[in-house]
Structure 1
């Protein structure tokens, strides 16, 4: 048959795509994430529709240390987290407000949030990601991991799964350029 060469060619062309997909790690809609810098493990929601990652924080205060911008905050997880955390400020992020969060008199369609860099471990992968700070105490998951961070994890998200990567088990610090 004359179709056999075309079928073989098609299979050969698809092989690189399939091998790239096998290099990705499949994560569920929710995963356990270890915040290595803070010696803490929290449940996280993986959200491909969000661009950035967000960590639940309260009493967020920017300040200068040795002329450099820093941020001080408390984790908004529960009453047990009553000590302040101080980290260098990576940048300020402008987050688009949702329709229900928009005040027409305020005239701002975004909210400014401080961003810090954290080492996050999911499964066996440890990556340095940017995380904006905001009070997420009204949400079920204190950490939201958006598409920017998911790319750094080489993640494929299967929303039918939960905790597919298991408990965080990072043995060594990964290169932040990964």
Structure 2
């Protein structure tokens, strides 16, 4: 009797897991992304090991506007114009430094980065995600999409695929899925 119950339970668990997986969207290790409110399309790396998403930026400055903290920056994208972008600051994220990046005199094991919200389109799905701003010019992809954003997209990442979602195709008035 006990064995019959465990077999039936295992079957139900496997069936439920498969139906849950069918509700997810499969993305590749790299995807084309559209920063909808900035009207910029770029290649992104999907990284389930990173919690926060990161966008390449330079000349990053915090400033005050009507009592609120804002961030002013320029996109660090190849071929991007040099225009200044201003967005409200959502928060400051603390990103762990690698052992080789820690300055013993500074004694900090993290880097503080400003975080803003942006509309991101992957395939046909658009979400408002948080991205921290940092210079990613040394990396191949100017946008890294971390696990918090991947959860919002209900994503499954297959590292054997690239650009599985195709070019971003979100309608301008598409629901953001928040």
* Structure-2-length-normalised TM-score: 0.92
Secondary structure of 1:113's aligned partner: strand
Secondary structure of 2:138's aligned partner: coil
Contact 2:54 2:134 in 1 (8 A): yes
1:99 counterpart residue number: 99
- C-alpha displacement of 1:77: 1.1
Deviations 1:133-172 (A, max 9, x none): 0000110000000111110010000000000000001113
* Structure 2, unaligned runs of 5 or more: none
Secondary structure of 1:120's aligned partner: strand
Alpha-carbon RMSD across the aligned residues, in angstroms, is 1.7
- C-alpha displacement of 1:79: 5.2
Q: Are the structure 2 counterparts of residues 105 and 12 from structure 1 closer, same or farther at C-alpha, using a change threshold of 3 Å?
A: same
- C-alpha displacement of 1:104: 1.0
- Between the two proteins, the alignment pairs up a number of residues equal to 175
Rounded Cα–Cα distance in structure 2 between residues aligned with 1:149 and 1:60: 22
* Structure 1, unaligned runs of 5 or more: none
Rounded Cα–Cα distance in structure 1 between residues aligned with 2:131 and 2:155: 17
Q: Are the structure 2 counterparts of residues 26 and 176 from structure 1 closer, same or farther at C-alpha, using a change threshold of 3 Å?
A: closer
Whether 1:66 and 2:61 are equivalent positions in the alignment is: no
Secondary structure of 1:43's aligned partner: strand
1:12 counterpart residue number: 12
* Structure-1-length-normalised TM-score: 0.92
Rounded Cα–Cα distance in structure 1 between residues aligned with 2:74 and 2:88: 15
1:129 counterpart residue number: 129
Deviations 1:38-67 (A, max 9, x none): 000010000011010000000000001111
- C-alpha displacement of 1:13: 3.7
Matches within 5 A, 1:12-91: 12-78=12-78, 80-91=80-91
- C-alpha displacement of 1:11: 2.9
